[in-house]
């Protein structure tokens, strides 16, 4: 019970704003498709965040900002949701099992290796939606 209290008091790996960086918590990096079956094919892979990603998606007023991102194959998008939001694959629109930002508020960079439309939504707030459009 004391260890649980210590974790709560220490903030469980978040920064001063409560955001968690997937690159440095809970041991080695996990696969981007944490919610997908282990053998699920994915065109989205988790990478270390570069100092200048090709695009950045944040959240504000219960919206993804920007809601639509257009990038090229091989580009990297940094997802930096507020601590009450989480990127997950969209339940009914075309997507990829790799579309996941991990835990709520976790910062994650994803690289897109194929063309297509990758829809996502907020795990806790499914009315929040976004899309990454990838072309050559």
Q: In terms of pLDDT, which residue wins out, 46 or 1? A: 46
Residue 4: inside a domain: no
Q: What was the pLDDT predicted at 31?
A: 43
Residue 6 within a domain? no
Give yes or no for residue 54 having a pLDDT over 80: yes
Give the model's confidence band at 22: pLDDT under 50 very low, under 70 low, under 90 confident, else very high. Answer: very low
Tokens of 12: 């469980």
- Residue 1 covered by a domain: no
Q: Give domain status of residue 68, yes or no.
A: yes
* Model pLDDT, residue 37: 55
**Percent of the chain beyond pLDDT 90?**
57
Confidence of residue 5 (pLDDT cuts 50, 70, 90): very low
Quick check: is 2 in a domain?
Answer: no
Q: Domain of 95: which CATH number?
A: 2.60.40.420
Measured from the Cβ of residue 105, the count of other Cβ atoms closer than 10 Å reads: 21
Compute the mean pLDDT over every residue in the chain, rounded to the nearest whole number: 79
Q: Can you give the pLDDT at residue 41?
A: 77
Supply the range of the domain harboring residue 46.
Answer: 13-135
Among candidates 130, 135, 125, 66, which has minimal Cα distance to 99? 130
Q: Contact, 32 vs 97, CB < 8 A?
A: no
Q: What pLDDT digit, counting tens, does each position of 61-115 carry?
A: 999 999 999 999 999 999 999 889 999 999 999 888 888 888 888 999 999 999 9
Q: Is residue 49 part of a domain?
A: yes
Check: CB of residue 36 under 8 Å from CB of residue 42. yes
pLDDT band at 34 (very low <50, low <70, confident <90, very high): very low
Alpha carbons 2 and 13: distance in angstroms, whole number: 17
The tally of domains found in the chain comes to 1
> What is the reported pLDDT for 1?
46
Residue 106 lies in a domain: yes
Helix boundaries (H) for 27-88:
none
What's the CA gap between 112 and 74, in Å, rounded? 5
Give residue 13's pLDDT: 40
Largest CA distance in the chain: 53
Interatomic CA distance for residues 61 and 64, integer angstroms: 9
The answer to whether residue 25 sits within a structural domain is yes
Residue 39 predicted with pLDDT over 80: no
Q: Do residues 95 and 44 lie in contact, with contact meaning Cβ atoms separated by under 8 Å? A: no
């Amino acid at each position: 019970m004391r260890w649980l209290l210590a974790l709560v008091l220490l903030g469980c790996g978040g920064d001063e704003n409560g955001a968690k960086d997937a690159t440095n918590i809970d041991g080695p990096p996990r696969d981007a498709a944490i919610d997908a079956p282990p053998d699920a094919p994915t065109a989205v892979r988790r990478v270390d965040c570069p100092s200048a990603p090709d695009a950045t998606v944040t959240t504000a007023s219960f919206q993804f900002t920007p809601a639509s991102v257009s990038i090229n194959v091989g580009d990297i998008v940094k997802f930096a949701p507020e601590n009450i939001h989480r990127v997950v694959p969209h339940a009914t629109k075309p997507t990829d099992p790799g579309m996941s930002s991990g835990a709520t508020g976790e910062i994650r960079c994803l690289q897109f290796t194929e063309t297509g439309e990758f829809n996502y939504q907020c795990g806790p707030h499914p009315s929040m939606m976004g899309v990454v459009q990838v072309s050559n």
